[in-house]
């Protein structure tokens, strides 16, 4: 088991959350895959090993992980949340054709947060930056059609 998974399990235990085999499998999947899966994708990946698990079980556990600060829920207005176990400061570029999400690093935008606080009086807690475009695979498909 990776140290990231062990650390996350320890954090859940300290907050009094009981660890079940299904909960551990969902968390391990998120932490090791490092992708941005939907609850349905997680369910489909784990269902062969947990035939009694439901999509509702996956959703409920993801909510627990979000509330515990282990996972971010990424919503894009299309009704399909994606989940990210990388809690570091990073940003996303999203394909507007296939929905692929790729992480990219950039220096934190803390100066912008400070300016927003000064101009608005808000107590800024964080931000989310997303870049939209077309991924290389979709570009290649588009080029092949034309």
Residue 1 has what pLDDT? Answer: 59
Residue 145 has what pLDDT? Answer: 67
Residues 98 and 125 in one domain: yes
- CATH classification of the domain holding 126: 3.30.1490.190
Distance CA 84, CA 69 (A): 11
Boundary residue ending a domain (86, 115, 130) = 86
Residues 56 and 116 in one domain: no
> What is the domain range of residue 97?
88-146
CB 113 within 8 A of CB 127: yes
Residues 3 and 41 in one domain: yes
Q: What is the total count of domains within the chain?
A: 2
Walking along the chain (146 residues) 10 residues at a time, the average pLDDT comes out as 77 83 92 87 95 94 91 79 85 86 81 92 87 92 75
Structure tokens at 25: 């499998």
3-state secondary structure of 56: helix
Distance CA 112, CA 3 (A): 34
Residue 6: other Cβ atoms inside 10 A: 11
Residues 95 and 120 in one domain: yes
Residues 6 and 65 in one domain: yes
Torsion on CA atoms 18, 7, 23, 100, rounded to nearest 10: 150
Over residues 14-25, the pLDDT tens digits come to: 888 888 899 999
CB 72 within 8 A of CB 87: yes
Structure tokens at 78: 């299309």
3-state secondary structure of 17: coil
Residues 74 and 112 in one domain: no
């Amino acid at each position: 088991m990776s140290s990231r998974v062990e650390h996350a399990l320890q954090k859940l235990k300290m907050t009094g959350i009981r660890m079940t085999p299904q909960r551990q499998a969902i968390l391990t999947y998120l932490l090791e895959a490092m992708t941005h899966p939907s609850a349905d994708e997680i369910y489909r990946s784990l269902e062969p090993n947990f035939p009694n698990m439901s999509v509702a079980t996956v959703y409920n556990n993801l909510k627990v992980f979000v509330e515990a600060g282990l996972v971010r829920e990424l919503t894009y207005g299309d009704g399909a949340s994606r989940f990210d176990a990388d809690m570091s400061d990073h940003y996303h570029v999203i394909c507007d054709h296939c929905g692929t999400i790729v992480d990219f690093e950039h220096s934190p935008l803390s100066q912008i947060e400070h300016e927003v606080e000064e101009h608005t009086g808000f107590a800024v807690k964080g931000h989310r930056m997303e870049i939209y475009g077309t991924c290389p695979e979709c570009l290649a498909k588009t080029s092949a059609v034309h």
